């Protein structure tokens, strides 16, 4: 019989192998570098089988039982903690019945088939130059925000509606049925109930107590913003292809020279360095541009979750993240820097989990989606701060963004803060009702009707600017029935921001931020609950009030805050000895092509990247 130490070390090694194999194939297939879909499906199934193996669960329980009830020294305490991490992983992923395991195997096959067909689907719209072009979901969204032609904007929304119909005609409903069958085989009423309990350790009823409260708190602000849009621009302003444009189009266009795509990489590196964020020697691979066949949603996955091995040697992380930018499209720079901060925040989190097993530093359960998204969304929240914009948003001549443009940005975006959060909120309301449908009720007509009814009730418009079934998260079992995690995370983000503002008075380039996040939010990974991390840093349990208060701010109140931020930043003395680099090996790729890396220096990499972008994508005319 193997010792508890042997059991633990074997789990760490075997998991790393099966996880990396799956993640390497995931990257190659999702980045359209490889078409080995069958190989990826096998690797995905091997991974699922590993984390849901009852025999491994029994072995861990026995190993823990053999340790006794007391820890004689730190070595034994660490071993117990590590095995407890594996216990949590297996218990939340275990598939107890043969029937459920069979349903999971079928589900993986169905989703693989849908993914393969979706990768080959071409979406088209009319771009800013008036030409028909192939595009991505990100491109469609940006076009609706910035294109001056209503007819062109409508082609983007029509493409999204077409995607909805395509999804329904190409197997999504069978996947929903199979997900429900899988959940029922484990004793759950439906897949939504199963995922909420698995991912967030709460029931669906507990989740909707929080969501219903937030819906009520922000309903009036949402209604007020839509009415103001109609009063200013006419009844057509809330049509789905117009809403993004009238809410932000002109300002997005004006911002574009100050947030160029080519400078995005440099701004991310400098800003994170000054925040004191480090990656502990991790290798980061970034694929930032759209490409035919490439997965059309940003993500961050780590083929090698970092940890201290059996010899107490640090195993550095290997982390991939991606975006779908189109550098010659208005607004692409803003979207790119948002992705770099968001996915870079995920990467910082996973690179800084300093436990003795890779099970603590991976993005799947028992890692809470809300906990994981708190880290990324906190980082990208900085981009809307007036002091960040004043320091980093500069045009080609080096001139900083004018105060008047920051005011215009607030004037445009603040009224729609509630609408933006409700754009997340609408998804769990739809998904819960979707998975509560019987198999007989799951028809294309009824599902589309449910989507429209939910959008009208939560968003206040007949059709959402991002139609429900065009959201990629719904198609993949890992992210399906989890979208509420983004809203829970943003609640935690504003709670975290309030703590730093109370404690230090500012966020942008505050060198205390990175170390505080590393200590309280990142170091223990999924070994502690999301609520416990918030308690450790802020001294308060999970609290939705801060986000609701932000959403309900008036433009005048938000501008007063922005002026205070800029005034404080102007008088602030920043440390002269900023961190030299991110302590990361960075590769910028475009599919199989290496664009740039930091083997020489971060600055050299940024120059290479900017030159590569400038050569291939001349700046659009504003």
340 and 444 co-located in one domain: yes
Residue 74 placed within a domain: yes
User: What is the total count of domains within the chain?
Assistant: 2
Residue 584 placed within a domain: yes
For residue 281, give the CATH number of its domain: 1.10.1370.30
Domain that holds residue 485: 116-616
Residue 184 placed within a domain: yes
pLDDT given at position 622? 43
14 and 123 co-located in one domain: no
**Domain's final residue, options 64, 94, 124:** 94
379 and 422 co-located in one domain: yes
pLDDT given at position 199? 87
Residue 622 placed within a domain: no
Residue 103 placed within a domain: no
523 and 573 co-located in one domain: yes
123 and 200 co-located in one domain: yes
Cross-strand bridge partners of residue 480: none
pLDDT given at position 575? 62
202 and 241 co-located in one domain: yes
391 and 458 co-located in one domain: yes
**Domain's final residue, options 60, 94, 128:** 94
Ranges of H-type helices in 3-149: 4-30, 37-51, 54-66, 74-93, 98-120, 137-146
210 and 65 co-located in one domain: no
pLDDT given at position 619? 62
292-295 CB contacts, 8 Å cutoff, 24+ apart: 292/32, 292/122, 292/134, 293/32, 293/119, 293/120, 294/30, 294/31, 294/32, 294/136, 294/322, 294/324, 294/591, 295/30, 295/31, 295/32, 295/119, 295/322, 295/472
Residue 101 placed within a domain: no
pLDDT given at position 182? 96
- Per-block average pLDDT, block size 10, for the chain (622 residues)? 93 97 96 93 94 94 90 90 96 87 93 92 95 93 92 98 97 98 96 93 94 95 95 96 86 91 95 97 96 87 97 97 87 89 96 98 90 96 97 95 96 94 98 98 98 98 96 92 96 98 96 98 96 96 92 96 96 66 97 97 96 84 45
89 and 126 co-located in one domain: no
133 and 82 co-located in one domain: no
218 and 334 co-located in one domain: yes
Residue 110 placed within a domain: no
**Domain's final residue, options 94, 126, 160:** 94
Q: How many residues does the chain have?
A: 622
Residue 102 placed within a domain: no
222 and 73 co-located in one domain: no
Q: Which residues neighbour 146 within 8 Å (Cβ) at sequence distance 6 or greater? A: 128, 245, 249, 252, 253, 329, 330, 331
Mode of pairing for the β-strands spanning 318-325 and 299-304: antiparallel
pLDDT given at position 318? 98
Per-residue DSSP letter, 542: -
Confirm if 400 and 390 have CB atoms less than 8 A apart. yes
């Amino acid at each position: 019989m193997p010792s508890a130490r042997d059991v633990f070390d074997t789990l760490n090694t075997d998991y790393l192998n099966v996880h990396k194999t799956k993640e390497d194939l995931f990257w190659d297939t999702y980045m359209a570098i490889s078409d080995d879909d069958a190989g990826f499906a096998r690797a995905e199934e091997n991974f699922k089988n590993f984390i849901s193996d009852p025999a491994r669960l029994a072995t861990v329980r026995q190993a823990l039982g053999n340790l006794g009830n007391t820890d004689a020294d730190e070595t034994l305490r660490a071993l117990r903690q590590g095995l407890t991490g594996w216990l949590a992983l297996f218990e939340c992923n275990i598939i107890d019945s043969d029937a459920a395991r069979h349903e999971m195997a079928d589900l993986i096959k169905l989703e693989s088939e849908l993914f393969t067909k979706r990768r080959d689907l071409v979406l088209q719209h009319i771009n800013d130059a008036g030409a028909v072009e192939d595009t991505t979901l990100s491109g469609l969204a940006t076009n609706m925000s910035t294109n001056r032609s209503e007819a062109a904007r409508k082609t983007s929304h029509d493409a999204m509606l077409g995607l909805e119909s395509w999804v329904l005609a190409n197997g999504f409903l069978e996947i929903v049925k199979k997900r429900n069958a899988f959940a029922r085989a484990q004793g759950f009423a439906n897949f939504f109930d199963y995922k909420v309990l698995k991912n967030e350790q709460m029931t669906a009823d507990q989740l909707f107590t929080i969501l219903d409260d937030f819906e009520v708190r922000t309903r009036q602000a949402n209604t007020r913003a839509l009415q103001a849009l109609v009063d200013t621009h006419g009844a057509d302003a809330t049509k789905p292809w117009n809403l993004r444009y009238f809410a932000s189009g002109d300002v997005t266009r004006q911002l574009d020279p100050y947030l160029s795509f080519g400078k995005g990489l440099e701004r991310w590196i400098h800003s994170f360095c000054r925040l004191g964020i480090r990656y502990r020697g991790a290798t980061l691979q970034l694929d930032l541009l759209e490409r035919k066949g490439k997965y059309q949603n940003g993500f961050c996955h780590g083929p090698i979750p970092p940890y201290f091995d059996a010899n107490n040697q640090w195993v550095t992380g290997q982390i991939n993240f991606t975006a779908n930018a189109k550098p010659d499209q208005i607004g692409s720079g803003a979207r790119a820097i948002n992705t770099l901060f968001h996915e870079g925040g995920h990467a910082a989190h996973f690179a800084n989990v300093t436990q003795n097993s890779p099970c603590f530093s991976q993005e799947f359960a028992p890692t809470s989606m809300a906990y994981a998204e708190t880290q990324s969304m906190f980082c990208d929240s900085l981009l809307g701060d007036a002091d960040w914009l004043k320091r980093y948003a500069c045009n080609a001549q080096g001139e900083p963004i004018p105060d008047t443009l920051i005011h215009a940005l607030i004037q445009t975006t603040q009224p729609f803060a509630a609408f933006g959060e409700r754009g997340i909120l609408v998804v769990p309301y739809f998904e819960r009702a979707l998975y509560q449908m019987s198999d007989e009720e799951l028809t294309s007509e009824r599902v589309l009707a449910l989507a429209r009814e939910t959008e009208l009730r939560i968003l206040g418009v007949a059709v959402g600017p991002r139609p429900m079934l065009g959201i990629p998260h719904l198609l993949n079992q890992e992210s399906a029935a989890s979208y509420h995690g983004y809203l829970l995370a943003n609640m935690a983000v504003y709670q975290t921001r309030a703590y730093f503002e109370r404690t230090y008075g500012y966020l942008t380039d505050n060198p205390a931020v990175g170390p505080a996040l590393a200590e309280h939010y990142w170091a223990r990974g999924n070994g502690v609950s999301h609520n416990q991390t918030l308690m450790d840093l802020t001294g308060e349990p999970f609290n939705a009030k801060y986000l609701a208060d932000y959403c309900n701010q008036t433009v005048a109140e938000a501008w007063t805050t922005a002026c205070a931020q800029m005034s404080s930043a102007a008088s602030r003395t920043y440390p002269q000895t900023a961190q030299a680099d991110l302590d990361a090996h960075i590769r910028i790729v475009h599919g199989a092509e290496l664009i740039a890396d930091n083997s020489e220096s971060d600055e050299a990499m940024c120059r290479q990247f900017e030159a590569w972008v400038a050569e291939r994508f001349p700046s659009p005319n504003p």
